[in-house]
């Protein structure tokens, strides 16, 4: 079943009209709050250090686990070599 050309033209015209009506709206007026006071340097540094510490601790634990797993893999490899004829 073929769609008539006038149907496509009508649909395209409707989309254009809706777009033009939508673009004609003004943005709502909002009050801009005053800028917050800049934090002090010591607060910024302590917060930054806390973030670094919160990331560093899990990484240190994962490195320790990685070392343990490497040792276990080495022992397993040695046992396999010893058991092989």
Q: What is the pLDDT of residues 19-67, one digit of tens each?
A: 777 666 666 666 666 656 666 778 788 888 888 888 898 899 999 999 9
Residue 85 in domain: yes
Residue 75 in domain: yes
pTM of model > 0.75: no
What is the pLDDT, as a whole number, of residue 85?
Answer: 67
Residue 70 in domain: yes
Domain range spanning residue 69? Answer: 56-85
Residue 79 in domain: yes
pLDDT interval class at 73 (50, 70, 90): very high
H helical segments located in 1-85: 5-23, 41-83
Residue 27 in domain: no
Residue 18 in domain: no
CA distances from 82 to 24, 50, 85 (A): 82, 49, 8
Q: How many domains does the chain have?
A: 1
What is the pLDDT, as a whole number, of residue 23?
Answer: 65
What is the pLDDT, as a whole number, of residue 36?
Answer: 62
Rounded Cα distance, 42 and 15, in Å: 56
């Amino acid at each position: 079943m073929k769609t008539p050309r006038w149907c496509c033209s009508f649909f395209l015209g409707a989309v254009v009209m809706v777009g033009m009506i939508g673009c004609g709206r003004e943005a709502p007026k909002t009050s801009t709050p005053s800028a917050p006071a800049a934090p002090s340097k010591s607060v910024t540094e302590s917060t930054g250090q806390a973030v670094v510490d919160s990331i560093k601790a899990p990484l240190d634990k994962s490195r320790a686990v990685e070392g343990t797993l490497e040792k276990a893999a080495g022992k397993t490899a040695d046992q396999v070599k010893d058991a092989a004829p």
